[in-house]
Structure 1
Amino acid sequence: MKFPNNLSSPQIPLEDHQKLSDLGIIKSFSAGKTIVNENAHIRSVPIVLEGSVKVMQSDDELKEMVLYYLRPGETCVMSVLAGLYQDTSKVKAIAEEDCKVLFIPVNTFNDLIRKNPGWLNYIFQIYHKRFEELLGVVDAVAFKNMDERLLKFLEKRADLSNSRTLSMTHEQLAQELGTAREVISRLLKKMEAEGLVELGRNKITLM
């Protein structure tokens, strides 16, 4: 398998003679399957090869919110840090769509960073991208109204799936945005009246 050529994502700094299978184990996950659980010990660093993965965090009341998405070529920097420092995961990673993930053992990953500057640069690129996305989440939660957050979230999902029509329930949206289903339903009806979206059965189309 060749590593996906996705210019919008950092690239794994493979040596010319290396294969992905030299680094770790490749596993397939169907949409909705959990890849990394909260509070799990991180023994391998996951890197998405195909598909997309959403990274979420929950509170004490088990309310969840999406922090960011991982695309091909990306890893979860929080999982990297938890693995390198023998900590547990503070987030949950779920397959947003059918995907393939490369798992590199923590010891192997640590050696790669120490011996190859390209790997360290790769991690800094990932860290920079994730930090910007988390700042966006903080900005949205602290300073934007829920209708603005909802529209931006739908646009991001549409970009991720390369489709203006999203197959999502109001309950799913509420869970991923950390709010109530009734709030989402009310806002979507308002957005439909304004011509921003078209609502169908478990479907939302951005206009």
Structure 2
Amino acid sequence: MIKELQANYGHIFEEELINEINQTGTYREVHEGHKLMEIGEYVKSMPLLISGVIKVLREDGDGDELLLYFLEHGDTCAMTLNCCMGHTKSEIRAIAETNAKLIMIPIQKMEEWLAKYTSWRNFVLLSYHNRLNEMLETIDSIAFLRMDDRLLKYLRDKARVTNDNDISTTHQQIAYELHTSRVVISRLLKKLENLGEIELHRNQIRLVNI
């Protein structure tokens, strides 16, 4: 675990902190689709992402989901930080978009390191800043972009974080994450295919024009 920590966080954290994370953190490997966090659960640890992609979603009163942002290697989740520090229940759902490797940090150490390590405090503040910007971008896309533009942005973001132009998903899953209907998504996907932006295959979408 120490080598992966140094490779992903060595440029951020000092050696003493890296060693503490190695001693107190819990290493986990999860498969695509694994639910790491559920709405309404108390959060007892914070994830440091070593590899893979995690998607973070919000749910409305009817049980419909909205994608907030993706986490990539070297990231952590500001919403998780907020729940951990405030000892409150989670308001988000976190699901592995791809196979992923993580190190889970106990709440007690998170609070201790804020006072002990400047690099940790800066990392936490930067994580809040980055996740806030991503959520503002999500709000902007809902408020100002047409659904076909939102869909294309969603596909491009997904291809970017997974580093793969072939996206394995269903029309229904996209509809859930963009908070719309499957019929609308299917119609817009066909429109994007006719425009030469994508190729549609069974449970797979290939981005052509990036």
Contact persistence 1:55–1:66 (CA under 8 A): yes
Counterpart of 1:118?
119
Provide Cα deviations, 1:37-83, integer angstroms capped at 9, x if missing partner.
11111111112111110001111111001100111111111111111
- Letter matched to residue 97 of structure 2: E
Contact persistence 2:57–2:93 (CA under 8 A): yes
Counterpart of 2:15?
15
Q: Quote how far apart the aligned CAs of 1:23 are.
A: 3.1
- Letter matched to residue 48 of structure 2: I
Identity value in percent: 36
Contact persistence 2:39–2:92 (CA under 8 A): yes
Counterpart of 1:48?
49
Contact persistence 2:52–2:98 (CA under 8 A): yes
Q: How many residues align?
A: 205
SS in structure 2 of the partner of residue 13 of structure 1: coil
- Letter matched to residue 82 of structure 1: C
Q: Quote how far apart the aligned CAs of 1:199 are.
A: 0.7
Counterpart of 1:167?
168
SS in structure 2 of the partner of residue 185 of structure 1: helix
1:30 aligned to 2:39? no
Give the helix-richer structure, 1 or 2. Answer: 2
Contact persistence 1:11–1:73 (CA under 8 A): no
Runs of 4+ deviating beyond 4 Å: 9-12
Provide Cα deviations, 1:105-140, integer angstroms capped at 9, x if missing partner.
101110011111110100111111111111100000
Alpha-carbon distance in structure 2 between the residues aligned to 1:4 and 1:51: 17
Q: Using the TM superposition, name which of 21-30 and 170-179 deviates more.
A: 21-30
Contact persistence 1:37–1:93 (CA under 8 A): yes
Alpha-carbon distance in structure 2 between the residues aligned to 1:13 and 1:97: 26
TM-score using structure 2 length = 0.92
Counterpart of 1:67?
68
Counterpart of 1:188?
189
SS in structure 2 of the partner of residue 141 of structure 1: helix
- Letter matched to residue 32 of structure 1: G
- Letter matched to residue 101 of structure 2: K
Q: Quote how far apart the aligned CAs of 1:19 are.
A: 5.8
In 2 relative to 1, CA 11–138 (structure 1 residues): closer, same or farther, beyond 3 Å? farther
Provide Cα deviations, 1:4-59, integer angstroms capped at 9, x if missing partner.
745xx996514257164313111111110110111111111112111110001111
Give matches, 1:102-113, under 5 Å.
Answer: 102-113=103-114
Contact persistence 1:168–1:202 (CA under 8 A): yes
CA root-mean-square deviation: 1.7
Gaps of 5+ in 1: none
Alpha-carbon distance in structure 2 between the residues aligned to 1:19 and 1:202: 43
Alpha-carbon distance in structure 2 between the residues aligned to 1:96 and 1:38: 17
Alpha-carbon distance in structure 2 between the residues aligned to 1:112 and 1:39: 26
- Letter matched to residue 180 of structure 2: T
SS in structure 2 of the partner of residue 104 of structure 1: strand
Provide Cα deviations, 1:81-120, integer angstroms capped at 9, x if missing partner.
1111111111011111111111111011100111111101
- Letter matched to residue 190 of structure 1: K
Alpha-carbon distance in structure 2 between the residues aligned to 1:167 and 1:4: 32
Contact persistence 1:28–1:98 (CA under 8 A): yes
SS in structure 1 of the partner of residue 109 of structure 2: helix
